[in-house]
Amino acid sequence: MTEPLFPDNTVLCNFAAVNRLDLLKSVLGGRGRWTEAVAYEASRSAAKLSPLMALPSEGWLDDPIEITKASDIRKINQIRRAVFDGTDDDPLKHLGEAQTCYVIKNWASFAGSWWISDDREALRYAKFQHITTRETIDMLCIAVAGGDISAGGAFDLMNQMADSDRYLRLPQSAEELRR
């Protein structure tokens, strides 16, 4: 596997909530990327989830991808509104999702990338757009398979995430994470 992996802010927040961004870093294996709007969303979330604060300086998601071509900017704004229900009055809302979808679908350098999210709507839309999707639970499965964490440890970690008011799909048992 060499495709870039784009965790969205919900996923970053899940791992930050249990202070295990190191585990996500290990699973992403140097292939993690983020757009400028996701980086901005993470910086806003850092007010409540302080582990996110170190993300830009650690650099394992690389420099935030900047979109500067006027036609790309307009199309992203249109996707943000039409697909994700953003509005002109709130131009930052859903910008991270729109940018991520757009670069994966339209920039050759990111073709085949995975989009990692726990948002049901974003996941459904991405599948229809033939974008490979993964959720936090899939990241934990990879971590278990790679020996980064035991299945029991991963199971407990996901329940801790949920206990921290994070919304994500949970496994029924630790066994489910051994796949």
Partner 1 sequence: MEGITDRVLSLLEASGQNRRTFAQDIGLDDSKLSKSLNGARRFSSLDLARIADKCRVTVDWLVTGEEPTLAVAARTTSGQARTALEAAKQYSTMREDLAVFGWEQPWRPLEAEIPGGTYAEQGRALAAAALARVAEAGLSLTDAALPALVEQAFGADVAVVGLDEGFDGLAASSDEAKLIVLGTSQVPARQRFTLAHELGHLLVGDDQGVHLDKDVYDKAQAKDPSEMRANSFASAFLIPEDTLRTAAGTTGLSEDSFAALSCDLQISPFALAIQLQQLRLIDAGMCDRLRKITAAKAAALAGRSEEFSRHVADASTPRPPGLLVRDSYMAYESGATTLRPYASLLGVDVDELRRALEAEEGVPGVS
When asked if residue 128 is in the footprint of partner 1 (CB under 8 A), the reply is: yes
Nearer to partner 1, 82 or 145 (CB): 82
Q: Are 132 and 112 in contact (CB under 8 A)?
A: yes
Contacts 24+ apart (CB under 8 A), 109-116: 110/4, 110/6, 110/33, 112/3, 113/3, 113/4, 113/5, 113/6, 113/33, 114/3, 114/4, 114/5, 114/6, 115/6, 115/8, 116/5, 116/6, 116/7, 116/8, 116/11
Q: Which stretch binds partner 1 (CB under 8 A): 9-17, 26-34, 66-74, 154-162?
A: 66-74
Binding mask 129-158 for partner 1 (x = CB under 8 A): x-----------------------------
Distance of closest approach, residue 66 Cβ to partner 1, in angstroms: 4
When asked if residue 76 is in the footprint of partner 1 (CB under 8 A), the reply is: yes
Q: For binding to partner 1 (CB under 8 A), which residues are involved? A: 36-37, 40, 66-70, 72-74, 76-78, 81-85, 87-88, 90-92, 95, 99, 120-122, 124-125, 127-129
